[in-house]
Amino acid sequence: MARLLLRRRTILLSAVVLLIVAYCTATLVTSRWLTMGRFDLTTDGLYTLSPGTKQVIDGAERPLWLTLYFSQHATKDLPLVRSYEQRVAEMLQEIVAQSRGRIRLQIVDPVPYSDDEARAESAGLTPANGGSNGERIFFGLVGSTRQPTSDDTPDSTPDTAADRTGKDVDRTLSIPFLDPNRETFLEYDVAKLLYQLDQAEKPHVGVISALPVMGDPLNGVQPWTVMRQLQQLFDVDVLDADKIKHIDSDIKVLLLIHPKHLSNDVQYAIDQYVLGGGHLVVFVDPFAESDPTPLVDETSGAQGDRSSNLPRLFADWGVQFDPSQIVLDRSRALQIELNGTNLAHPAMLGLGAQEINRDDPVTASLQRVNVSTAGHFDLLPNATTRLVPLLQSSADAELAPLQRVIDAGSNPTSLLQGYQPQNQNYVIAARLHGPFASAFPELAKRAGHLAASPGNAEVILIADTDMLTDRLWVETQTLQGFVDQPVLSAFANNGDFISNLVDNLTGSSALLSIRGRSTSQRPFTRVLALRRAADSKFLQKEQELEGELADTKQRLDELQPSKGAHDAATNAEQKHEVEQFLQRELEISKELRDVQHQLNAEIDALGTRIKVINITLLPALIILFGIAYGWRRTQRNRRQRP
C-alpha cells in the first residue's frame, strides 16, 4: 500500500514538473515565433486591424519608425487620457506585429526640460496644458523613414505635411496631438501617416475651374487662400478646359470647380477618369457670387448666367441637381451687415455640428462650415448609386427660386416672408458611391474606352462654390511689431474641409476603405440611467421653483402700494409673501439635496454589490466548487481501495 502511494506521488510530482516545463517552453515559443497568434474578444473587434490598414502595412516599401510621445508624470491625475494612451499603444503594437519587422515602435516620456521634450516639439507635436503641477502634456505620434537616434539635434526641422518638397529621402511626419475625442478615427489617422511616409513625392492634384481660384499673377492677385493651402500640401496643376482630351492617371484628385458649358471632349475625359478609378470632386452652384459674369448683359440686356451644372454626367450617375433652386435655412442664417444694419441672411448658412457628418473622417473634427446661395443634391428614382451626406441643411429649411433670391439682394429678410419649411434636410455636400457606367456609350469603339467603373468608385459632390472664397471663412489681420505682418485668421472650417477632403482622396483605396471604429470607453449604463433619472427630477424641481418665483414676483407687483393710507398693510402683506416664498425655496433646495443624496446612495449601493460579487461571491463559488470536487474525488478513491 505504501509503495502504491509513493508511486502515485512520484507520478503526480513528475506530471507537475513536466507541466511547468511544457508551459514555459510553450510561452517562449509563442512569444518568439507566434507573435501574430492573438485573439480579439472585444464586442466590436476593437483591436483587430481593418483590411485597409493591413493593405497599407503590407504595401510599405521601406522601413518605418514610429515614436509615441506620452507625458507619464503630467497625466498621473488624468485616468481617461492614460487609458486612451494604452489604447493607442496597443493598436501601434498590433501594427508593428502585422508589419513583420518593417515598422518599429518606441514609446518616449518627454519629461520637462529634456532633449526628448525638445525633439517632440521640433517634430511638430502640440503640447496641451492642464497636466500635474502645471506641466505640459505631450501625446502625439511621430513617424520617420530613418531610425531616430540620440544624435538627432532637437533644433532640426522635420519634413512635415506642411513643408514636404517632393522627392526627399528621409522624411518625418507627425500627428501633433492624439485627441481622445477622435478615437473613432485613430486607425485611419495612423494608417494615413504610414501611407504618406511611404510615398516618394507630393500627390498630384488637378484643377479645372471657371472661377479665378488661382488669382491673377500678372496683376499681383494671389490665389484664394484655400488653393494656397492645397499648394503647401500637394502638387497642384491647373488644367486648361479648352485643351483637355485626356486626364492622366497620375492626377490623384481632380477638382472640377464651377463647370460651365464644358465641351463633350472634356466631359468624356472626366467620365473616363472616374471610370478608371480617379477621384473627382465637383463644385456646382445655382448662383456663384464670385463668377465674373455680369448679372445683366449691357448690350443685349439679357440675364447673366452665374450657375453651373453637369447635366449629362449627373444623369448618368443618378444624381438630381436643379440649378434654379437655392436652399434657405432661417435657423442657420448668417448675420451680415447691409447699409449699416445687421441682418440675418437665410441664403447664407453657417452649418454647425448638427449638419456635419460626424461619422466621416473628412468632417468629423469640423465645427462650422459656411456656404452661400447653395443648391442641393438628391438621387433620381432609377438611381443605382448611393448618396452619403457630408454637409446638409437643418430640417427648418425650404427651397426658393433663384430669381427670388437675386431680387432680394438688397433686402434678404424679404426671403422670410411666407417662409414654409419642408421638414427636410437638404444635402449640400455628399459622397456618391458607384459603380458608374459611361455616359458616352456611343464612343464605345474608341481605343481604351472604359464602359464601367470598379464597384468601389466614388465622386464627391458639393453644391456651392462660394464656400471656397475667402470672405466666407477667413479674414486678414495685421500683427503690430517690428514689421507689420498680415496674418490669416479663420472663423470657419471651410479650408479644413477642402484640405481634409483632398488629403483623404489622395490616399490609396485602402485608406478610403477605413471608416470610423467604436471607442474603447465602456460607460456604466446603469449608472448613466440613474444619473438621467436624477437629472429629470432636478429639472422638474427647478422648473417648479422658477414657476413659484414668477408667481411670487407677479403677486408682489400686484401688492405695490397705490395710496399712502395702505402702505403699512401692503408692506406687511408683501413681507408675508416674501417669507412664504423663501420658506418654499428652502424646502425645494432640501428636496434637491435629497434627490442628489438618493442618487449617490444608489450608485454606492450598486458599486458595493459589484464589489461583493467580484471580491466575495465569485471566489466563494470557486472555492466551494473546488471543495466539492476534492471531496467527491476523495470519496471515489476510498471506494476504489481494496
Q: Who's near 590: CB < 8 A, 6+ residues apart?
A: none
pLDDT of 371 higher than 90: yes
- Res. 159 pLDDT band, cuts 50 70 90: very low
Grid cell, residue 347, equals 441664403
pTM above 0.85, yes or no: no
Mean pLDDT, rounded, for 403-422 = 91
User: Residue 539 pLDDT > 70, yes or no?
Assistant: no
Confidence band of 558 (pLDDT split at 50, 70, 90): low
- pLDDT (tens digit, 9 = 90+) per residue, 11-54? 777 877 888 888 778 776 665 555 445 566 555 566 688 888 88
3-state secondary structure of 386: strand
Residue 162 has a pLDDT of 39
Q: Over the stretch 430-447, which tens digit does the pLDDT of each residue have?
A: 999 988 999 999 999 999
pLDDT value at position 563? 43
**pLDDT of 425 over the 80 cut:** yes
Residue 112: strand, helix, or coil: coil
The answer on pLDDT for 160 being more than 50 is no
- The more confident residue out of 51 and 607 is 51
Mean pLDDT of 357-365: 88
Domain borders along the chain are: 51-198, 204-296+303-323+375-393+422-512, 525-560+577-640
Give yes or no for residue 624 having a pLDDT over 90: no
Range 370-397 average pLDDT: 95
pLDDT, tens digit, for every residue of 95-145?
998 888 889 999 999 998 899 999 999 998 989 888 887 889 999 999 998
Reported as type and span, the H/E element at residue 175 is strand 172-175
**Window from 206-220, 458-472, 500-514 with minimum mean pLDDT:** 500-514
Number of neighbours of residue 184 by Cβ within 10 angstroms: 16
* DSSP single-letter state for residue 563: S
Mean pLDDT of 322-347: 91
Domain spanning 204-296+303-323+375-393+422-512, CATH architecture: 3-Layer(aba) Sandwich (3.40)
Grid cell in block for residue 496: 479644413
What CATH fold (topology level) applies to the domain 51-198?
Glutaredoxin (3.40.30)
Model pLDDT, residue 67: 95
pLDDT at res. 164: 39
Which is nearest to 430 in space by CA: 321, 332, 506, 323? 321
Q: Among the listed ranges 302-311, 408-417, 505-514, which one has the minimum average pLDDT value?
A: 505-514
At CB < 8 A and 24+ separation, what contacts does 349-352 make? 349/374, 349/393, 350/492, 351/391, 351/392, 351/393, 351/428
